[in-house]
Structure 1
Protein backbone atom coordinates (compact mmCIF):
# COMPACT_ATOMS: atom_id res chain seq x y z
CA UNK A 1 0.00 0.00 0.00
CA UNK A 2 2.79 2.43 0.89
CA UNK A 3 5.05 2.07 -2.11
CA UNK A 4 6.23 5.67 -2.44
CA UNK A 5 9.34 7.13 -0.82
CA UNK A 6 7.14 9.38 1.30
CA UNK A 7 5.08 6.37 2.31
CA UNK A 8 8.13 4.36 3.32
CA UNK A 9 9.47 7.29 5.34
CA UNK A 10 6.11 7.71 7.01
CA UNK A 11 6.08 4.04 7.98
CA UNK A 12 8.95 4.73 10.35
CA UNK A 13 6.73 7.11 12.30
CA UNK A 14 4.89 5.85 15.37
CA UNK A 15 1.16 6.48 15.34
CA UNK A 16 -0.88 6.98 18.48
CA UNK A 17 -4.55 6.02 18.13
CA UNK A 18 -7.28 7.06 20.57
CA UNK A 19 -10.76 5.62 20.16
CA UNK A 20 -11.43 2.00 19.18
CA UNK A 21 -15.17 1.94 18.58
CA UNK A 22 -17.11 0.46 15.66
CA UNK A 23 -15.06 2.36 13.07
CA UNK A 24 -11.91 3.26 15.00
CA UNK A 25 -10.89 -0.34 15.62
CA UNK A 26 -10.92 -1.18 11.91
CA UNK A 27 -9.06 2.02 11.07
CA UNK A 28 -6.38 1.21 13.63
CA UNK A 29 -6.10 -2.33 12.32
CA UNK A 30 -5.60 -1.08 8.76
CA UNK A 31 -2.79 1.18 9.91
CA UNK A 32 -1.01 -1.83 11.37
CA UNK A 33 -1.64 -3.82 8.18
CA UNK A 34 0.08 -0.98 6.29
CA UNK A 35 3.17 -1.44 8.44
CA UNK A 36 2.80 1.33 11.03
CA UNK A 37 3.75 0.84 14.68
CA UNK A 38 0.70 1.70 16.74
CA UNK A 39 0.28 3.02 20.26
CA UNK A 40 -3.30 2.71 21.55
CA UNK A 41 -5.30 4.27 24.34
CA UNK A 42 -9.01 4.07 25.04
CA UNK A 43 -11.07 4.57 28.18
CA UNK A 44 -11.88 0.87 28.36
CA UNK A 45 -8.79 -1.26 27.75
CA UNK A 46 -10.89 -4.34 26.98
CA UNK A 47 -12.08 -2.68 23.77
CA UNK A 48 -8.51 -2.66 22.51
CA UNK A 49 -7.50 -6.20 23.56
CA UNK A 50 -7.69 -7.70 20.06
CA UNK A 51 -5.55 -4.87 18.64
CA UNK A 52 -3.00 -5.43 21.40
CA UNK A 53 -2.94 -9.13 20.54
CA UNK A 54 -2.18 -8.13 16.92
CA UNK A 55 0.81 -5.98 17.90
CA UNK A 56 -0.44 -2.59 19.08
CA UNK A 57 1.16 -1.19 22.23
CA UNK A 58 -1.03 -0.07 25.13
CA UNK A 59 -0.49 3.34 26.72
CA UNK A 60 -2.03 4.19 30.07
CA UNK A 61 -3.22 7.68 29.17
CA UNK A 62 -3.67 10.17 26.35
CA UNK A 63 -0.67 12.05 27.77
CA UNK A 64 1.61 9.00 27.68
CA UNK A 65 0.48 8.14 24.16
CA UNK A 66 1.08 11.70 22.98
CA UNK A 67 4.62 11.81 24.39
CA UNK A 68 5.55 8.59 22.57
CA UNK A 69 3.91 9.13 19.17
CA UNK A 70 4.82 11.13 16.07
CA UNK A 71 1.29 11.23 14.68
CA UNK A 72 -1.77 11.14 16.93
CA UNK A 73 -5.16 10.13 15.52
CA UNK A 74 -8.41 10.45 17.43
CA UNK A 75 -11.92 9.25 16.68
CA UNK A 76 -14.02 9.63 19.81
CA UNK A 77 -17.71 10.20 20.49
CA UNK A 78 -18.71 13.81 21.03
CA UNK A 79 -17.23 17.33 20.77
CA UNK A 80 -16.94 17.32 24.58
CA UNK A 81 -14.72 14.22 24.30
CA UNK A 82 -12.61 15.92 21.63
CA UNK A 83 -12.20 19.00 23.80
CA UNK A 84 -11.21 16.90 26.80
CA UNK A 85 -8.69 14.73 24.99
CA UNK A 86 -7.03 17.65 23.17
CA UNK A 87 -7.27 20.66 25.47
CA UNK A 88 -7.21 19.22 28.98
CA UNK A 89 -4.10 19.51 31.18
CA UNK A 90 -3.36 15.84 30.64
CA UNK A 91 -4.49 15.97 27.02
CA UNK A 92 -2.77 15.71 23.67
CA UNK A 93 -1.66 19.28 23.02
CA UNK A 94 -0.11 19.64 26.46
CA UNK A 95 2.01 16.53 25.95
CA UNK A 96 2.63 15.97 22.24
CA UNK A 97 6.11 16.54 20.84
CA UNK A 98 6.88 19.74 18.96
CA UNK A 99 6.69 19.01 15.23
CA UNK A 100 4.24 16.13 15.68
CA UNK A 101 0.91 15.80 13.87
CA UNK A 102 -2.56 15.49 15.36
CA UNK A 103 -5.50 14.33 13.24
CA UNK A 104 -8.99 14.41 14.71
CA UNK A 105 -11.25 12.10 12.70
CA UNK A 106 -14.26 12.53 14.98
CA UNK A 107 -17.28 14.29 13.51
CA UNK A 108 -17.16 17.40 15.64
CA UNK A 109 -17.67 21.16 15.69
CA UNK A 110 -15.94 23.26 13.00
CA UNK A 111 -15.32 25.96 15.61
CA UNK A 112 -13.67 23.47 17.96
CA UNK A 113 -11.48 22.29 15.07
CA UNK A 114 -10.30 25.86 14.54
CA UNK A 115 -9.56 26.27 18.25
CA UNK A 116 -7.52 23.07 18.33
CA UNK A 117 -5.61 24.20 15.24
CA UNK A 118 -4.75 27.54 16.83
CA UNK A 119 -3.66 25.97 20.13
CA UNK A 120 -1.64 23.34 18.28
CA UNK A 121 0.13 25.95 16.16
CA UNK A 122 1.15 27.82 19.30
CA UNK A 123 2.76 24.58 20.53
CA UNK A 124 4.52 23.87 17.21
CA UNK A 125 2.16 20.99 16.38
CA UNK A 126 0.46 20.40 13.02
CA UNK A 127 -3.31 19.90 13.46
CA UNK A 128 -5.92 18.57 11.02
CA UNK A 129 -9.62 17.92 11.30
CA UNK A 130 -10.37 14.91 9.09
CA UNK A 131 -13.80 13.38 9.67
CA UNK A 132 -14.77 10.33 7.64
CA UNK A 133 -17.71 8.78 5.83
CA UNK A 134 -18.26 5.20 4.76
CA UNK A 135 -19.47 3.50 7.92
CA UNK A 136 -18.28 0.21 9.31
CA UNK A 137 -17.90 -1.28 5.82
CA UNK A 138 -15.66 1.54 4.61
CA UNK A 139 -13.61 1.37 7.79
CA UNK A 140 -13.05 -2.39 7.46
CA UNK A 141 -12.12 -2.15 3.79
CA UNK A 142 -9.84 0.91 4.16
CA UNK A 143 -12.20 2.64 1.74
CA UNK A 144 -13.33 5.63 3.79
CA UNK A 145 -13.92 9.07 2.38
CA UNK A 146 -11.72 11.46 4.37
CA UNK A 147 -12.53 15.18 4.43
CA UNK A 148 -9.64 17.22 5.79
CA UNK A 149 -9.06 20.74 6.98
CA UNK A 150 -5.68 22.25 7.82
CA UNK A 151 -2.47 23.57 6.30
CA UNK A 152 -1.79 22.60 2.70
CA UNK A 153 1.99 22.86 3.18
CA UNK A 154 2.26 19.78 5.38
CA UNK A 155 -0.76 17.80 4.18
CA UNK A 156 1.07 15.61 1.67
CA UNK A 157 3.30 14.47 4.51
CA UNK A 158 0.40 12.72 6.23
CA UNK A 159 -1.36 11.49 3.08
CA UNK A 160 0.27 8.01 3.27
CA UNK A 161 -1.23 7.60 6.75
CA UNK A 162 -4.69 8.59 5.53
CA UNK A 163 -4.33 6.30 2.50
CA UNK A 164 -4.00 3.34 4.87
CA UNK A 165 -7.56 4.06 6.00
CA UNK A 166 -9.34 5.59 3.03
CA UNK A 167 -9.49 6.02 -0.72
CA UNK A 168 -11.22 9.35 -1.36
CA UNK A 169 -8.99 11.82 0.48
CA UNK A 170 -9.52 15.54 -0.11
CA UNK A 171 -8.04 18.57 1.64
CA UNK A 172 -11.07 20.88 1.66
CA UNK A 173 -9.38 24.00 3.00
CA UNK A 174 -8.10 25.52 6.21
CA UNK A 175 -8.90 24.36 9.75
CA UNK A 176 -12.58 23.51 10.19
CA UNK A 177 -13.16 22.88 6.48
CA UNK A 178 -13.14 19.13 7.00
CA UNK A 179 -15.86 19.39 9.64
CA UNK A 180 -17.95 21.75 7.49
CA UNK A 181 -17.70 19.25 4.62
CA UNK A 182 -18.81 16.43 6.93
CA UNK A 183 -21.82 18.55 7.87
CA UNK A 184 -22.71 18.72 4.15
CA UNK A 185 -22.39 14.93 4.07
CA UNK A 186 -24.67 14.45 7.08
CA UNK A 187 -27.25 16.93 5.78
CA UNK A 188 -27.46 14.95 2.53
CA UNK A 189 -27.69 11.63 4.36
CA UNK A 190 -30.30 12.74 6.89
CA UNK A 191 -33.14 13.47 4.47
CA UNK A 192 -31.99 10.64 2.22
CA UNK A 193 -32.39 8.11 5.04
CA UNK A 194 -36.02 9.15 5.46
CA UNK A 195 -36.54 8.45 1.76
CA UNK A 196 -34.86 5.03 1.96
CA UNK A 197 -36.95 4.00 4.97
CA UNK A 198 -40.17 5.20 3.36
CA UNK A 199 -39.40 3.47 0.05
CA UNK A 200 -38.73 0.08 1.63
CA UNK A 201 -41.71 0.37 3.97
CA UNK A 202 -43.95 1.36 1.04
CA UNK A 203 -42.74 -1.58 -1.04
CA UNK A 204 -43.59 -4.05 1.71
CA UNK A 205 -47.04 -2.55 2.31
CA UNK A 206 -47.73 -2.71 -1.44
CA UNK A 207 -47.10 -6.46 -1.33
CA UNK A 208 -43.86 -6.26 -3.31
CA UNK A 209 -40.63 -8.13 -2.63
CA UNK A 210 -38.43 -5.27 -1.35
CA UNK A 211 -35.25 -7.02 -2.50
CA UNK A 212 -36.60 -7.14 -6.04
CA UNK A 213 -37.71 -3.52 -5.82
CA UNK A 214 -34.22 -2.61 -4.68
CA UNK A 215 -32.70 -4.20 -7.80
CA UNK A 216 -34.63 -1.73 -9.90
CA UNK A 217 -34.45 1.51 -7.96
CA UNK A 218 -30.84 1.43 -6.75
CA UNK A 219 -29.61 1.40 -10.35
CA UNK A 220 -31.71 4.40 -11.36
CA UNK A 221 -32.00 8.04 -10.36
CA UNK A 222 -32.81 7.06 -6.75
CA UNK A 223 -29.48 5.31 -6.32
CA UNK A 224 -27.39 6.20 -3.25
CA UNK A 225 -24.91 4.69 -0.83
CA UNK A 226 -27.61 4.42 1.82
CA UNK A 227 -30.01 2.70 -0.55
CA UNK A 228 -27.43 0.13 -1.67
CA UNK A 229 -25.78 -0.50 1.70
CA UNK A 230 -28.41 0.14 4.37
CA UNK A 231 -31.69 -0.79 2.70
CA UNK A 232 -30.61 -4.48 2.52
CA UNK A 233 -29.98 -4.38 6.27
CA UNK A 234 -33.47 -2.98 6.85
CA UNK A 235 -34.98 -5.73 4.71
CA UNK A 236 -33.03 -8.43 6.58
CA UNK A 237 -33.95 -7.00 9.98
CA UNK A 238 -30.30 -6.23 10.74
CA UNK A 239 -30.24 -3.11 12.88
CA UNK A 240 -26.77 -3.52 14.38
CA UNK A 241 -24.77 -0.29 14.37
CA UNK A 242 -22.44 0.52 11.54
CA UNK A 243 -23.02 4.05 12.80
CA UNK A 244 -24.99 4.67 15.99
CA UNK A 245 -28.29 6.55 16.04
CA UNK A 246 -27.05 8.53 19.07
CA UNK A 247 -23.97 9.67 17.16
CA UNK A 248 -26.02 10.62 14.10
CA UNK A 249 -28.26 12.79 16.30
CA UNK A 250 -25.10 14.43 17.65
CA UNK A 251 -23.94 15.14 14.09
CA UNK A 252 -27.29 16.62 13.11
CA UNK A 253 -27.25 18.92 16.14
CA UNK A 254 -23.82 20.22 15.13
CA UNK A 255 -24.98 20.73 11.53
CA UNK A 256 -28.12 22.60 12.61
CA UNK A 257 -26.12 24.85 14.93
CA UNK A 258 -23.57 25.59 12.20
CA UNK A 259 -26.33 26.24 9.66
CA UNK A 260 -28.15 28.61 12.01
CA UNK A 261 -24.92 30.51 12.65
CA UNK A 262 -24.67 31.08 8.89
CA UNK A 263 -28.37 31.80 8.38
CA UNK A 264 -28.86 28.66 6.28
CA UNK A 265 -32.36 27.05 6.40
CA UNK A 266 -32.28 23.25 6.83
CA UNK A 267 -35.92 22.08 7.23
CA UNK A 268 -35.19 18.56 5.92
CA UNK A 269 -32.36 18.11 8.40
CA UNK A 270 -34.53 19.33 11.28
CA UNK A 271 -37.29 16.86 10.38
CA UNK A 272 -34.82 13.99 10.22
CA UNK A 273 -33.38 14.94 13.61
CA UNK A 274 -36.88 15.09 15.11
CA UNK A 275 -37.72 11.57 13.89
CA UNK A 276 -34.38 10.14 15.01
CA UNK A 277 -34.83 11.70 18.44
CA UNK A 278 -38.28 10.16 18.78
CA UNK A 279 -36.87 6.79 17.76
CA UNK A 280 -33.98 7.20 20.19
CA UNK A 281 -36.43 7.93 23.01
CA UNK A 282 -38.24 4.70 22.18
CA UNK A 283 -35.03 2.74 22.81
CA UNK A 284 -33.19 3.00 19.50
CA UNK A 285 -30.18 5.14 20.45
CA UNK A 286 -27.66 2.26 20.32
CA UNK A 287 -28.91 0.81 17.05
CA UNK A 288 -27.60 1.58 13.57
CA UNK A 289 -29.00 4.51 11.62
CA UNK A 290 -30.87 2.11 9.33
CA UNK A 291 -33.02 1.15 12.34
CA UNK A 292 -35.10 4.29 11.79
CA UNK A 293 -37.08 1.91 9.57
CA UNK A 294 -38.49 0.43 12.78
CA UNK A 295 -39.94 3.81 13.70
CA UNK A 296 -42.01 3.74 10.52
CA UNK A 297 -43.43 0.43 11.73
CA UNK A 298 -44.23 2.05 15.09
CA UNK A 299 -45.94 5.01 13.39
CA UNK A 300 -47.90 2.66 11.12
CA UNK A 301 -49.21 0.67 14.07
CA UNK A 302 -50.18 3.89 15.86
CA UNK A 303 -52.29 4.92 12.88
Structure 2
Protein backbone atom coordinates (compact mmCIF):
# COMPACT_ATOMS: atom_id res chain seq x y z
CA UNK A 1 0.00 0.00 0.00
CA UNK A 2 1.38 3.39 -0.99
CA UNK A 3 2.07 5.81 1.85
CA UNK A 4 2.35 8.77 -0.52
CA UNK A 5 -1.42 8.96 -0.88
CA UNK A 6 -3.52 10.85 1.68
CA UNK A 7 -5.08 8.83 4.46
CA UNK A 8 -8.85 8.46 4.13
CA UNK A 9 -11.69 7.38 6.41
CA UNK A 10 -15.13 6.01 5.55
CA UNK A 11 -18.29 5.65 7.66
CA UNK A 12 -21.19 3.57 6.38
CA UNK A 13 -20.30 0.19 4.89
CA UNK A 14 -23.61 -0.61 3.23
CA UNK A 15 -24.82 -1.40 -0.28
CA UNK A 16 -22.92 1.58 -1.69
CA UNK A 17 -20.22 2.13 0.92
CA UNK A 18 -18.80 -1.37 0.62
CA UNK A 19 -17.93 -1.28 -3.10
CA UNK A 20 -16.79 2.35 -2.85
CA UNK A 21 -14.42 1.46 -0.01
CA UNK A 22 -13.11 -1.51 -1.98
CA UNK A 23 -12.20 0.78 -4.87
CA UNK A 24 -10.35 3.20 -2.56
CA UNK A 25 -8.36 0.34 -1.07
CA UNK A 26 -7.59 -1.03 -4.52
CA UNK A 27 -6.27 2.41 -5.50
CA UNK A 28 -3.80 2.21 -2.62
CA UNK A 29 -5.27 4.69 -0.14
CA UNK A 30 -4.76 4.02 3.59
CA UNK A 31 -8.34 3.62 4.82
CA UNK A 32 -9.96 3.67 8.26
CA UNK A 33 -13.52 2.40 8.61
CA UNK A 34 -16.42 2.71 11.00
CA UNK A 35 -19.79 1.02 10.74
CA UNK A 36 -22.53 0.59 13.30
CA UNK A 37 -22.34 -3.15 12.59
CA UNK A 38 -18.57 -3.90 12.61
CA UNK A 39 -19.05 -7.30 10.95
CA UNK A 40 -19.66 -5.52 7.64
CA UNK A 41 -16.05 -4.29 7.70
CA UNK A 42 -14.49 -7.76 7.82
CA UNK A 43 -13.92 -8.18 4.08
CA UNK A 44 -12.32 -4.72 3.93
CA UNK A 45 -10.02 -5.24 6.89
CA UNK A 46 -8.82 -8.38 5.10
CA UNK A 47 -7.77 -6.04 2.28
CA UNK A 48 -5.80 -3.82 4.67
CA UNK A 49 -8.35 -1.35 6.05
CA UNK A 50 -8.39 -0.43 9.74
CA UNK A 51 -11.71 -0.70 11.60
CA UNK A 52 -12.13 1.83 14.44
CA UNK A 53 -14.50 1.85 17.40
CA UNK A 54 -16.15 5.27 16.96
CA UNK A 55 -16.69 7.91 14.28
CA UNK A 56 -14.43 10.29 16.23
CA UNK A 57 -11.50 7.89 15.72
CA UNK A 58 -11.86 8.25 11.96
CA UNK A 59 -10.30 11.69 12.37
CA UNK A 60 -7.12 10.44 14.05
CA UNK A 61 -5.07 9.90 10.89
CA UNK A 62 -7.33 10.77 7.95
CA UNK A 63 -7.24 13.99 5.97
CA UNK A 64 -10.61 13.35 4.35
CA UNK A 65 -13.52 11.65 6.14
CA UNK A 66 -16.26 10.22 3.92
CA UNK A 67 -19.83 9.30 4.85
CA UNK A 68 -22.36 7.14 3.04
CA UNK A 69 -25.28 6.81 5.46
CA UNK A 70 -29.00 6.19 5.40
CA UNK A 71 -30.55 9.60 6.04
CA UNK A 72 -30.26 13.01 7.67
CA UNK A 73 -30.87 11.71 11.19
CA UNK A 74 -28.14 9.07 10.94
CA UNK A 75 -25.63 11.57 9.55
CA UNK A 76 -26.42 14.01 12.37
CA UNK A 77 -25.87 11.26 14.94
CA UNK A 78 -22.58 10.10 13.41
CA UNK A 79 -21.24 13.66 13.17
CA UNK A 80 -22.59 15.26 16.35
CA UNK A 81 -23.67 12.39 18.62
CA UNK A 82 -21.62 10.80 21.43
CA UNK A 83 -18.29 9.66 20.00
CA UNK A 84 -19.11 11.52 16.82
CA UNK A 85 -16.84 13.08 14.24
CA UNK A 86 -17.14 16.46 15.93
CA UNK A 87 -15.14 15.08 18.88
CA UNK A 88 -12.12 14.24 16.72
CA UNK A 89 -12.32 16.79 13.90
CA UNK A 90 -9.74 19.52 13.45
CA UNK A 91 -9.04 22.37 11.02
CA UNK A 92 -7.70 21.30 7.66
CA UNK A 93 -9.74 18.13 7.49
CA UNK A 94 -12.59 17.73 5.00
CA UNK A 95 -15.86 15.84 5.42
CA UNK A 96 -17.24 14.43 2.15
CA UNK A 97 -20.83 13.24 2.48
CA UNK A 98 -22.10 10.84 -0.19
CA UNK A 99 -25.44 10.39 1.62
CA UNK A 100 -28.70 11.78 0.23
CA UNK A 101 -29.93 14.36 2.76
CA UNK A 102 -32.22 17.34 3.11
CA UNK A 103 -30.41 20.38 1.65
CA UNK A 104 -31.32 22.73 4.51
CA UNK A 105 -30.13 20.24 7.13
CA UNK A 106 -26.88 19.79 5.21
CA UNK A 107 -26.22 23.54 5.29
CA UNK A 108 -27.02 23.73 9.01
CA UNK A 109 -24.76 20.81 9.92
CA UNK A 110 -21.94 22.12 7.72
CA UNK A 111 -22.09 25.52 9.43
CA UNK A 112 -22.12 23.94 12.89
CA UNK A 113 -19.21 21.60 12.13
CA UNK A 114 -17.13 24.46 10.74
CA UNK A 115 -17.88 26.70 13.71
CA UNK A 116 -17.06 24.03 16.28
CA UNK A 117 -14.02 22.38 14.69
CA UNK A 118 -12.80 24.22 11.59
CA UNK A 119 -13.62 21.19 9.41
CA UNK A 120 -15.23 22.01 6.05
CA UNK A 121 -18.15 20.05 4.57
CA UNK A 122 -18.66 18.91 0.99
CA UNK A 123 -21.94 17.28 0.05
CA UNK A 124 -21.34 14.80 -2.78
CA UNK A 125 -24.39 12.58 -3.30
CA UNK A 126 -24.05 9.99 -6.05
CA UNK A 127 -26.15 8.32 -8.71
CA UNK A 128 -25.50 5.04 -10.48
CA UNK A 129 -26.49 2.46 -7.89
CA UNK A 130 -24.43 -0.50 -6.76
CA UNK A 131 -23.24 -1.31 -10.32
CA UNK A 132 -21.85 2.21 -10.62
CA UNK A 133 -20.24 1.98 -7.19
CA UNK A 134 -18.56 -1.31 -8.11
CA UNK A 135 -17.31 -0.11 -11.51
CA UNK A 136 -16.31 3.42 -10.44
CA UNK A 137 -18.75 5.00 -12.88
CA UNK A 138 -20.92 6.99 -10.44
CA UNK A 139 -22.18 10.47 -11.25
CA UNK A 140 -21.20 12.73 -8.33
CA UNK A 141 -22.99 16.05 -7.80
CA UNK A 142 -21.15 18.26 -5.33
CA UNK A 143 -21.80 21.28 -3.16
CA UNK A 144 -19.05 23.11 -1.33
CA UNK A 145 -16.07 25.41 -1.71
CA UNK A 146 -14.34 25.11 -5.05
CA UNK A 147 -11.00 24.44 -3.37
CA UNK A 148 -12.48 21.60 -1.32
CA UNK A 149 -14.02 19.96 -4.37
CA UNK A 150 -10.76 20.22 -6.30
CA UNK A 151 -8.92 18.74 -3.32
CA UNK A 152 -11.25 15.73 -3.36
CA UNK A 153 -11.43 15.36 -7.14
CA UNK A 154 -8.40 13.03 -7.62
CA UNK A 155 -9.76 10.70 -4.93
CA UNK A 156 -13.32 10.74 -6.20
CA UNK A 157 -12.04 9.95 -9.71
CA UNK A 158 -11.66 6.36 -8.44
CA UNK A 159 -15.38 6.30 -7.59
CA UNK A 160 -17.10 8.22 -10.34
CA UNK A 161 -16.92 9.00 -14.04
CA UNK A 162 -18.12 12.55 -13.44
CA UNK A 163 -17.83 15.07 -10.59
CA UNK A 164 -19.73 18.32 -11.07
CA UNK A 165 -19.65 21.28 -8.70
CA UNK A 166 -23.25 22.52 -8.50
CA UNK A 167 -22.65 25.41 -6.11
CA UNK A 168 -22.09 26.01 -2.42
CA UNK A 169 -22.80 23.49 0.36
CA UNK A 170 -26.28 22.00 -0.13
CA UNK A 171 -26.31 22.40 -3.91
CA UNK A 172 -25.27 18.78 -4.39
CA UNK A 173 -28.22 17.65 -2.30
CA UNK A 174 -30.65 19.78 -4.33
CA UNK A 175 -29.28 18.18 -7.49
CA UNK A 176 -29.69 14.70 -6.00
CA UNK A 177 -33.31 15.52 -5.18
CA UNK A 178 -33.83 16.38 -8.86
CA UNK A 179 -32.13 13.11 -9.86
CA UNK A 180 -34.34 11.07 -7.55
CA UNK A 181 -37.53 12.75 -8.74
CA UNK A 182 -36.70 11.57 -12.27
CA UNK A 183 -35.65 8.07 -11.16
CA UNK A 184 -38.62 7.44 -8.87
CA UNK A 185 -41.27 8.71 -11.27
CA UNK A 186 -39.61 6.68 -14.03
CA UNK A 187 -39.67 3.52 -11.90
CA UNK A 188 -43.37 3.98 -11.14
CA UNK A 189 -44.39 4.49 -14.75
CA UNK A 190 -42.27 1.49 -15.79
CA UNK A 191 -44.23 -0.61 -13.30
CA UNK A 192 -47.46 0.60 -14.93
CA UNK A 193 -46.08 -0.14 -18.39
CA UNK A 194 -44.99 -3.71 -17.60
CA UNK A 195 -48.30 -4.53 -15.91
CA UNK A 196 -50.29 -2.99 -18.78
CA UNK A 197 -48.32 -4.96 -21.36
CA UNK A 198 -48.82 -8.19 -19.43
CA UNK A 199 -52.55 -7.65 -19.04
CA UNK A 200 -52.83 -6.81 -22.74
CA UNK A 201 -51.25 -10.10 -23.79
CA UNK A 202 -47.86 -8.62 -24.78
CA UNK A 203 -44.58 -10.24 -23.71
CA UNK A 204 -43.28 -7.55 -21.32
CA UNK A 205 -39.79 -9.10 -21.35
CA UNK A 206 -39.39 -7.70 -24.89
CA UNK A 207 -40.12 -4.09 -23.95
CA UNK A 208 -36.58 -3.01 -23.10
CA UNK A 209 -35.16 -4.30 -26.38
CA UNK A 210 -38.11 -3.02 -28.43
CA UNK A 211 -37.80 0.53 -27.08
CA UNK A 212 -33.98 0.70 -26.99
CA UNK A 213 -32.68 3.75 -28.82
CA UNK A 214 -36.05 5.48 -28.96
CA UNK A 215 -37.21 8.51 -26.96
CA UNK A 216 -38.55 6.25 -24.20
CA UNK A 217 -35.19 4.56 -23.65
CA UNK A 218 -33.37 5.06 -20.35
CA UNK A 219 -31.17 3.21 -17.90
CA UNK A 220 -34.17 2.54 -15.62
CA UNK A 221 -36.03 1.05 -18.60
CA UNK A 222 -33.12 -1.25 -19.48
CA UNK A 223 -32.52 -2.31 -15.86
CA UNK A 224 -35.96 -2.33 -14.24
CA UNK A 225 -38.32 -3.42 -17.01
CA UNK A 226 -36.68 -6.84 -17.55
CA UNK A 227 -36.51 -7.40 -13.77
CA UNK A 228 -40.18 -6.46 -13.39
CA UNK A 229 -41.24 -8.66 -16.29
CA UNK A 230 -39.33 -11.63 -14.85
CA UNK A 231 -40.39 -10.89 -11.24
CA UNK A 232 -36.66 -10.86 -10.46
CA UNK A 233 -36.57 -9.02 -7.14
CA UNK A 234 -33.32 -10.45 -5.73
CA UNK A 235 -30.61 -9.51 -5.08
CA UNK A 236 -31.75 -6.14 -3.74
CA UNK A 237 -29.67 -3.45 -5.48
CA UNK A 238 -31.41 -0.49 -3.80
CA UNK A 239 -34.40 -0.02 -1.52
CA UNK A 240 -37.95 1.28 -1.85
CA UNK A 241 -37.42 3.14 1.44
CA UNK A 242 -34.57 5.11 -0.14
CA UNK A 243 -36.72 6.35 -3.01
CA UNK A 244 -39.53 7.18 -0.58
CA UNK A 245 -37.16 9.18 1.63
CA UNK A 246 -35.87 11.12 -1.36
CA UNK A 247 -39.36 11.82 -2.70
CA UNK A 248 -40.40 13.11 0.70
CA UNK A 249 -37.32 15.36 0.63
CA UNK A 250 -38.37 16.63 -2.80
CA UNK A 251 -41.86 17.50 -1.57
CA UNK A 252 -40.45 19.22 1.51
CA UNK A 253 -37.97 21.21 -0.58
CA UNK A 254 -40.71 22.24 -3.00
CA UNK A 255 -42.71 23.69 -0.09
CA UNK A 256 -39.66 25.52 1.25
CA UNK A 257 -38.90 27.24 -2.07
CA UNK A 258 -42.46 27.58 -3.38
CA UNK A 259 -42.05 25.24 -6.35
CA UNK A 260 -44.78 22.94 -7.70
CA UNK A 261 -43.93 19.21 -7.80
CA UNK A 262 -47.30 17.47 -8.27
CA UNK A 263 -45.95 14.35 -10.00
CA UNK A 264 -43.34 13.80 -7.31
CA UNK A 265 -45.99 14.32 -4.63
CA UNK A 266 -48.14 11.59 -6.17
CA UNK A 267 -45.08 9.38 -6.60
CA UNK A 268 -44.31 9.75 -2.90
CA UNK A 269 -47.79 8.56 -1.96
CA UNK A 270 -47.63 5.58 -4.35
CA UNK A 271 -44.18 4.68 -3.00
CA UNK A 272 -45.52 4.98 0.57
CA UNK A 273 -48.44 2.72 -0.31
CA UNK A 274 -46.07 0.12 -1.73
CA UNK A 275 -43.82 0.38 1.32
CA UNK A 276 -46.77 -0.06 3.67
CA UNK A 277 -47.45 -3.41 1.99
CA UNK A 278 -44.15 -4.78 3.30
CA UNK A 279 -41.81 -3.62 0.54
CA UNK A 280 -39.72 -0.90 2.22
CA UNK A 281 -36.59 -3.09 2.27
CA UNK A 282 -37.28 -4.58 -1.17
CA UNK A 283 -35.93 -3.59 -4.59
CA UNK A 284 -37.96 -0.99 -6.55
CA UNK A 285 -38.51 -3.66 -9.22
CA UNK A 286 -41.25 -4.89 -6.86
CA UNK A 287 -43.27 -1.77 -7.74
CA UNK A 288 -44.82 -3.79 -10.57
CA UNK A 289 -46.75 -5.65 -7.90
CA UNK A 290 -48.76 -2.48 -7.28
CA UNK A 291 -50.38 -2.84 -10.68
CA UNK A 292 -50.55 -6.54 -11.35
CA UNK A 293 -53.99 -8.07 -11.01
CA UNK A 294 -54.16 -10.41 -8.01
CA UNK A 295 -54.12 -14.10 -8.87
CA UNK A 296 -57.41 -15.93 -8.32
TM-score over 0.5 for the pair: yes
Confirm whether residue 133 of structure 1 aligns to residue 127 of structure 2: yes
Residue in structure 2 matching 1:167, options 143, 154, 161: 161
Contact 1:67-1:97 within 8 A present in 2 as well:
no
Residue in structure 1 matching 2:245, options 240, 247, 250: 250
Figure out how many residues of one structure are paired with residues of the other and give that number: 293
Contact 1:187-1:252 within 8 A present in 2 as well:
yes
Structure 2 residue runs of 5 or longer lacking an equivalent are none
CA distance in 2 between counterparts of 1:275 and 1:31 reads 37
DSSP-derived class of the 1:40 partner: strand
Residue in structure 1 matching 2:61, options 64, 68, 80: 68
Can you list the C-alpha shifts for 1:113-133, whole angstroms capped at 9, x where unaligned? 112221233222121011111
Larger deviation, residues 269-278 vs 170-179: 269-278
Structure 1 residue runs of 5 or longer lacking an equivalent are 1-7
Confirm whether residue 195 of structure 1 aligns to residue 189 of structure 2: yes
Residue in structure 1 matching 2:8, options 15, 19, 29: 15
Can you list the C-alpha shifts for 1:233-265, whole angstroms capped at 9, x where unaligned? 222322232111112111111111011111111
Q: CA deviation at 1:211?
A: 2.6
Q: CA deviation at 1:89?
A: 4.5
**1:51 aligned partner:** 44
Can you list the C-alpha shifts for 1:194-246, whole angstroms capped at 9, x where unaligned? 22111122222222222322212132100112111222222232223211111
**2:266 aligned partner:** 271
CA distance in 1 between counterparts of 2:124 and 2:290 reads 32
**1:155 aligned partner:** 149
CA distance in 2 between counterparts of 1:65 and 1:153 reads 22
Larger deviation, residues 113-122 vs 251-260: 113-122
DSSP-derived class of the 1:301 partner: coil
**1:262 aligned partner:** 257
Confirm whether residue 82 of structure 1 aligns to residue 91 of structure 2: no
**1:5 aligned partner:** none
**1:177 aligned partner:** 171
DSSP-derived class of the 1:272 partner: helix
* TM-score with structure 1 setting the length: 0.92
**1:210 aligned partner:** 204
Q: CA deviation at 1:301?
A: 2.5
DSSP-derived class of the 1:291 partner: helix
Larger deviation, residues 229-238 vs 250-259: 229-238
Contact 1:62-1:91 within 8 A present in 2 as well:
yes
Residue in structure 1 matching 2:285, options 246, 266, 290: 290
CA RMSD of aligned residues (A): 1.8
Residue in structure 2 matching 1:237, options 231, 234, 253: 231
DSSP-derived class of the 1:114 partner: helix
Can you list the C-alpha shifts for 1:101-157, whole angstroms capped at 9, x where unaligned? 100110001112112221233222121011111111111111111110000123211
Contact 1:29-1:51 within 8 A present in 2 as well:
yes
Q: CA deviation at 1:172?
A: 0.4
Confirm whether residue 116 of structure 1 aligns to residue 114 of structure 2: no
* TM-score with structure 2 setting the length: 0.94
